[in-house]
Amino acid sequence: MKNKLKHELLNQFPRLNELANKDTVLWENTNWEKKASTNLFSMEEVGEAEETLKRFSSYLTVAFPELLESKGLIESSIQEIPLIKKALEKEFDLLIPGQFILKCDHALPISGSIKARGGIFEVLRHAERLAIASGRLTIEDNYAVLATEDFQTFFQQYTIAVGSTGNLGLSIGIMGKKLGFNVVVHMSSDAKEWKKALLREKGATVIEYEADYSVAVEQGRREAEQDPMCHFIDDENSKDLFAGYAVAAKRLKTQFEKTNITVDNAHPLFVYLPCGVGGGPGGVAYGIREIFGEHAHIFFAEPVASPCMTMGLMTGLHDEISVEDIGLDNKTEADGLAVGRASKFVGKVMETYISGCYTVKDEELFTSLGLAMNSEGLFLEPSAHAGMFGPIQLMKNGQNYLEKHDLVEKMEQATHIVWATGGSMVPEEMREEYMAKVVRVGRTND
Ligand SMILES: *Cc1c(COP(=O)(O)O)cnc(C)c1O
């Protein structure tokens, strides 16, 4: 079925014009509810995911000695970034009241991105189901046995497949190969060479596409359907992925308690999450709103060339509209966010949960990359910098939102969480390439 024509869409949904023009926009979700709800997903599933991850902790410390210190927990820290806040305020000539905190998922162990939550979780859960169904494992066992050769041989019969812009493939490839699975990663044209090379080195099969993410996913899904021994990790629809991401919210609550960060009526929480197809930010947002309720205000960040979730939510069309439908090319340096069509499952769940979405230009991502390096020596990949613009967008274009929700007077007591979604595994040469781009395209050096 051919979608509606561009001019029809722009007529019916006038705000799409700004997106079609690649303007940076802040879109407010008027379906937001204090007490958000969905019948598509439940916190029970998040609790189960957390339990599953706990069962795997003994295996994980054996398979990845870097996890010994955290006792097998794959988690990242939170960190105040006052220097970056100051640098952004200066660059954009405004004040951001409240505390500026980085959620360091760029430094998550094993695969260095937010995908180390959902992606790794789904591989583990699949492994557990297979092992239990075969009678080789019970949930009372010490899962360290999964690191033995017997289990490696057992998992070798099975294949895990996935379509990815890079980081999801990396997480699933590293985890899947460690357990012994065959892994096939269908990589979109945006995927960086080093991610493909690293996967091949780990023994995964990488299939490259000239086309974008949606095509890579579709091909992967189709091939996997023909192989009964193959499990396809479906980034567009998977509840397991979503559950794995959502666990982050429970852990964040504990981190807040330990560091005396209060979230209540007088202390609002703002969270800015870079968004591709939606699973990562969606899972985190779901968990945070379930836990912190109406005091949490969540915004998704997308590149101006790939605002698929913004469009899906704005129009209510979800996966029935793509960025190409309004003439955008889905080409961005934020490779992890280069997705032209959003997940319908995530979009539907998010309807009453998120406060809104905003878009960022690539040049702003590089400006932020430069500021973060120069002020705190912090390196994040371009995708992850989309979160940095949340507080700026909110202060510049979000007055209406702040007034409507009675937040203006509370902003000095606010906490802004910028969710850093990836970067610690980016090789040195690539970092230097990015830094060279900061000079060429960053705003500061226009
Ligand atoms: C995948 C990814 C995202 C977004 O996650 P989605 O589940 O695709 O929405 C954000 N940042 C980085 C670095 C990523 O790799």
Burial class (CB in 10 A: 0-12, 13-18, 19+), 429: exposed
Q: Which domains does the chain have, with CATH numbers?
A: 2-41+70-111+240-440 (3.40.50.1100), 114-238 (3.40.50.1100)
Q: Position of tokens 């080195």?
A: 201
C-alpha 423/C-alpha 441 separation (Å) is 20
| 404 CA from centroid of ligand 1 (Å) | 30
* pTM (predicted TM-score): 0.97
Q: What are phi and psi of 197, to 5 degrees?
A: -65, -45
Q: Tens of pLDDT along 305-358?
A: 999 999 999 999 999 999 999 999 999 999 999 999 999 999 999 999 999 999
What is the β-pairing status of strands 159-164 and 182-187? parallel
Atom 11 (ligand 1) nearest CA: 421
Identify which of 108, 115, 235 to mutate to test ligand 1's pocket (most ligand atoms within 8 A of the CB).
115
CA of 183 to the centre of ligand 1 (A): 20
Measure 231 CA to ligand 1 centroid, in angstroms.
21
Instruction: Report the run of H or E that residue 6 belongs to, with start and end.
Output: helix 6-12
User: Three-state DSSP class for 358?
Assistant: strand
Question: Which protein residue's CA is at the shortest distance from atom 8 of ligand 1?
Answer: 276
Q: How far apart are the CA of 383 and the centre of ligand 1, in A?
A: 8
Yes or no: say if 80 and 100 are a contact pair by the CB < 8 Å rule.
yes
- Closest ligand 1 atom to the C-alpha of 279? 7
Q: Which atom of ligand 1 is nearest to the CA of 423?
A: 13
In tens digits, the chain (446 residues) has pLDDT values of 455 789 999 999 999 999 999 999 999 999 999 999 999 999 999 999 999 999 999 999 999 999 999 999 999 999 999 999 999 999 999 999 999 999 999 999 999 999 999 999 999 999 999 999 999 999 999 999 999 999 999 999 999 999 998 999 999 999 999 999 999 999 988 889 999 999 999 999 999 988 888 888 898 899 899 999 999 999 999 999 999 999 999 999 999 999 999 999 999 999 999 999 999 999 999 999 999 999 999 999 999 999 999 999 999 999 999 999 999 999 999 999 999 999 999 999 999 999 999 999 999 999 999 999 999 999 999 999 999 999 999 999 999 999 999 999 999 999 999 999 999 999 999 999 999 999 777 665 44
Residue range 83-98, pLDDT digits in tens: 999 999 999 999 999 9
Please list every protein residue whose CB sits less than 6 Å from any atom of ligand 1. 113-115, 167, 274-281, 336-337, 381, 383-384, 421-422
Mutate to test the pocket of ligand 1, among 275, 319, 388 (most ligand atoms within 8 A of CB): 275
Residue 339 Cα: closest atom of ligand 1: 8
Which candidate, 231, 232, 233, 229, places its Cα nearest to that of 157? 229
